[in-house]
Amino acid sequence: VCALLAALFVATDACANPDFSGVWLVDAKVQELKTDRGEIPPLTAEAARVYSTHVAKWRAGDLSFDPTAKCVSPGIPRMLYLPYPFEIIQSPKRITYLFQWNYWNRHVDMSGRKLEAPYPLAMGESRGHFEADELVIDSDGFRADNTLLDSAGLPHSEKLQLTERIRLKSGGALLEDRIRIQDPETFTHPWETVVEFRRLPATSEIPMDICLDRT
């Protein structure tokens, strides 16, 4: 239908992609990441051992396992659900996330090109496209030596692949991000989690933030 309207030079809002631009903040604290059924992720035996060690330290207040305690990037997807706001800037060829946390950013290429990370990156390499009212982002190319999936120390490997399906809810007041996590070295099978973000007022700005000032 949209292709036909475009051929007839008729503009319509129904053909426009949803606009995710704005400042967002996670709607509920995420410290121990669970599946969309509220279960512990399906860890392999070795990954479960590592996670158990991390959780014990975390509950005891020992963050020596967590690179963010030394201002190292949390990586994706953890950066999204830290208790700090982020701004989404949307354009036809790129969607950019500007994070408060230590001025990090994330770029999602919307050009349709086949991109690969030149080497493992904390934020990986992200490619996006729209399917109806959903923004679909595929990401890979992640570092595993200094990033975790949650505050309690959920590990991953460089085989990590993410597929995010993002949509607006409640008239645009909420942003839902359904994240499919696949990593055969860490999990016995792919699994999904859902995180929601609330839209902050239009006048909101990302405040100045330097991680070292908080440590």
Note if the bond before 42 is cis, omega within 30 degrees. no
> Residue-wise pLDDT tens for the chain (215 aa)?
454 434 444 444 446 899 999 999 999 999 999 999 999 999 999 999 999 999 999 999 999 999 999 999 999 999 999 999 999 999 999 999 999 999 999 999 999 887 777 888 999 999 999 999 999 999 999 999 999 999 999 999 999 999 999 999 999 999 999 999 999 999 999 999 999 999 999 999 998 898 888 76
- Which residues fall within 8 angstroms of residue 74, CB to CB, at 6 or more apart? 67, 68, 82, 101, 122, 147, 148
Q: Which pTM was predicted?
A: 0.90
